[in-house]
């Protein structure tokens, strides 16, 4: 169950945090692992230590540094993977960072940089992986392909202090759903996780206290290692029928999200014609009566 022997997995941003746990998980399931992270000394050292940790238990891994959102670096990531291991089977887009600000205080650069690393970072590697798999399929070769994308609950509930991040994470879901539809005929799956974990990204934020390691030594619900088994499962042969799904994962819990659906379709009582504003007021009154209060998703802190 969950055997990934002979499979090749690439994880972006895998030197630390959730990506590192996912890389170790894949290696324990038998996959050969490519650890990507940004080309910076601290990330390089962290990536090399992840490679060593995997090699120490007999697993196979290499580190390939580069910006996940840069096309040239992404091309190099794929080519280095093929050079080292001869194939690509599992593409986990995970890398990213936050630049939290409210919308009225956010600069163009704070917006662009976060959308760039998360949304474009997913796009370029998704494009490269899927083009590789499609070309293989067209050449008549067998394809084993798994795309796993990393979104956030910020995408569905919004996040008052992270408009850049929430928008990028929502875009990731839309892109991953389209990929699921497109790639179904090749037997390739595309799924999305929304994790919660204590990592560098959340350690300094408002979630830090909520995510902290319990002092009594009880199970740490926000250990990033709790997220990795689901990613390992979604990458496995047993999950081959699961695609186009979005799952919130943390602690000992996996929540399968429902597709957004219409509560009720209200039709113009005047028949087949354009709505008048005053008619909309009365038609929508049953939903937006005096008892109505806007629902923000129940978060009092940014949901990373
Ligand atoms: N931790 C949470 O609670 C949480 C919640 C929801 C979503 N997420 C998402 O999970 C993913 C992993 O986050 P994390 O919590 O492990 O954070 P983290 O900061 O521990 O790890 C992110 C990694 O990405 C790397 N990275 C940053 N920019 C990069 C780039 N341009 N190219 C390559 N690598 C780059 C960093 O160096 C780091 O190693 C992110 O996409 C994050 O948005 C995390």
Is there a catalytic annotation at residue 299?
no
* Number of domains forming the structure of the chain: 1
Residue 225 burial by Cβ neighbours in a 10 Å radius (0-12, 13-18, 19+): middle
All residue ranges of the chain with pLDDT < 70 are: 297-304
Residue 58 resides in a domain: yes
Which candidate in 85, 132, 169, 304 is catalytic? 169
Q: What pLDDT score does 300 carry?
A: 47
Residue 27 resides in a domain: yes
The pTM (predicted TM-score) of the whole model is 0.96
Is there a catalytic annotation at residue 262?
no
In angstroms, what is the span from residue 15 Cα to ligand 1's centroid?
9
| Percent of the chain whose pLDDT exceeds 70 | 97
Ligand 1 binding pocket (C-beta < 6 A) is: 12-13, 15-19, 36-38, 43, 67-69, 94-97, 117, 150, 152, 194-197, 199-202, 304
CA–CA separation, 302 and 61 (whole Å) = 34
User: What atom in ligand 1 is closest to the CA of residue 68?
Assistant: 32
Which position has the token pair 């509930």? 157
Which candidate in 85, 165, 236, 243 is catalytic? 165
Residue 2 resides in a domain: no
Residue 297 resides in a domain: no
Residue 304 resides in a domain: no
Cα 155 to Cα 163, 265, 301: the distances in Å are 9, 24, 14
In angstroms, what is the span from residue 16 Cα to ligand 1's centroid?
8
Is there a catalytic annotation at residue 169?
yes
Q: Whose C-alpha lies nearest to ligand 1, atom 38?
A: 13
Q: Whose C-alpha lies nearest to ligand 1, atom 17?
A: 201
Q: What pLDDT score does 299 carry?
A: 53
- The CATH number that applies at residue 225 is 3.40.50.720
Collapse the DSSP code of 144 into the 3-class scheme (helix H, G, I; strand E, B; otherwise coil) and give the result.
coil
Q: Whose C-alpha lies nearest to ligand 1, atom 21?
A: 17
pLDDT for 220-247, tens place per residue? 999 999 999 999 999 999 999 999 999 9
Residue 30 resides in a domain: yes
| Domain span including residue 135 | 8-256
Please answer whether residues 117 and 62 qualify as being in contact, where contact means their C-beta atoms are separated by less than 8 angstroms.
no
In angstroms, what is the span from residue 94 Cα to ligand 1's centroid?
6
In angstroms, what is the span from residue 23 Cα to ligand 1's centroid?
13
Give CA 270 to chain center in angstroms. 45
CA–CA separation, 37 and 16 (whole Å) = 9
Residue 67 resides in a domain: yes
Rg, Å, the chain Cα set: 21
- Ligand 1, residues 95, 164, 196: which to mutate, most atoms within 8 A of Cβ? 95
Q: Whose C-alpha lies nearest to ligand 1, atom 20?
A: 17
Residue 103 resides in a domain: yes
Q: What is the DSSP letter of 275?
A: P
């Amino acid at each position: 169950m969950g055997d990934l022997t002979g499979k090749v997995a690439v994880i972006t941003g895998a030197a630390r945090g959730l990506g590192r746990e996912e890389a170790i998980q894949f290696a324990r399931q038998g996959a050969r692992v490519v650890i990507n992270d940004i080309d910076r000394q601290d990330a390089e050292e962290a990536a090399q230590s992840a490679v060593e940790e995997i090699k120490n238990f007999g697993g196979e891994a290499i580190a390939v540094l580069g910006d996940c959102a840069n096309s040239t670096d992404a091309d190099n990531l794929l080519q280095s993977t093929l050079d080292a291991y001869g194939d690509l089977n599992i593409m986990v887009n995970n890398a990213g960072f936050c630049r939290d600000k409210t919308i009225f205080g956010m600069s163009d650069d704070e917006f662009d940089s976060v959308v760039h690393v998360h949304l474009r970072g997913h796009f370029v590697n998704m494009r490269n992986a899927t083009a590789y798999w499609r070309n293989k399929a067209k050449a008549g070769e067998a394809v084993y392909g798994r795309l796993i994308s990393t979104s956030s609950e910020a995408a569905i509930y919004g996040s008052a202090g992270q408009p850049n991040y929430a928008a990028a994470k929502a875009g990731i879901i839309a892109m991953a759903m389209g990929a699921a539809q497109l790639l179904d005929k090749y037997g390739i799956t595309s799924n999305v996780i929304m994790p919660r974990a204590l990592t560098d990204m959340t350690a300094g934020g408002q979630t830090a206290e909520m995510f902290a390691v319990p002092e009594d030594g009880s199970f740490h619900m926000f250990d990033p290692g709790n997220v990795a088994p689901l990613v390992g499962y979604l990458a496995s042969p047993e999950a081959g029928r699961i695609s186009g799904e979005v799952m919130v994962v943390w602690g000992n819990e996996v929540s399968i999200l429902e597709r957004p659906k219409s509560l009720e379709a209200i039709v113009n009582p005047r028949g087949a014609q354009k709505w008048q504003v005053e008619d909309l007021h009365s038609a929508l009154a049953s939903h937006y009566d005096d008892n109505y209060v806007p629902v923000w998703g129940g978060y009092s802190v940014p949901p990373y």
